[in-house]
């Protein structure tokens, strides 16, 4: 699976957009970009995923560059409850039942007043 690189930490003011970058320069054509987050002492929570088109759901937007070597997760109006570690994961499209997720170190997002 392709490796991802994320900044260790970021700060964001409450109410502003949080833009979390992820580099996945070795991604292959059949690999999706997934984002999960983990609030302190809880299990990870699925946020969004995409292949090459930009995606949006009720939680966030995912912008993937045309060459697919990087992506940005956007939380449009961050709140204190969005403080968490955000993981960017590359995963093959052929997700059989045994498909694994490999977690990197993620980005620790701190939302402040």
Partner 1 sequence: GAVVSQHPSWVICKSGTSVKIECRSLDFQATTMFWYRQFPKQSLMLMATSNEGSKATYEQGVEKDKFLINHASLTLSTLTVTSAHPEDSSFYICSANYPARGRYEQYFGPGTRLTVT
Minimum separation from the CB atom of position 97 to partner 1 (A): 4
For residue 15, how many C-alpha atoms fall within 13 Å in the half-sphere facing its CB?
1
Contact yes or no for 84/35 (Cβ under 8 A): no
Binding site for partner 1 (CB under 8 A): 38, 41-46, 87, 93, 95-106
Nearer residue to partner 1 within complex by CB, 23 or 38: 38
Nearer residue to partner 1 within complex by CB, 41 or 113: 41
Which residues, 6 or more positions from 39, have their beta carbon under 8 angstroms from its beta carbon?
45, 81, 83, 84
Minimum separation from the CB atom of position 103 to partner 1 (A): 4
Minimum separation from the CB atom of position 108 to partner 1 (A): 10
CA distance 75 to 62: 9
């Amino acid at each position: 699976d392709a490796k991802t690189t994320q900044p260790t930490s970021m700060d964001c003011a409450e109410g502003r957009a949080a833009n979390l970058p992820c580099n996945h320069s070795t991604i292959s054509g059949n690999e999706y970009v997934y984002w999960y987050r983990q609030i302190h002492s809880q299990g990870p929570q699925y946020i969004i995923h995409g292949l090459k088109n930009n995606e949006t759901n009720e939680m966030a937007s995912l912008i993937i560059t045309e060459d697919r070597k990087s992506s940005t997760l956007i939380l449009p109006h961050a709140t204190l409850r969005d403080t968490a570690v955000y993981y960017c994961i590359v995963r093959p499209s052929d997700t059989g039942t045994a498909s694994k997720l490999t977690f990197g170190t993620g980005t620790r997002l701190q939302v402040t007043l």
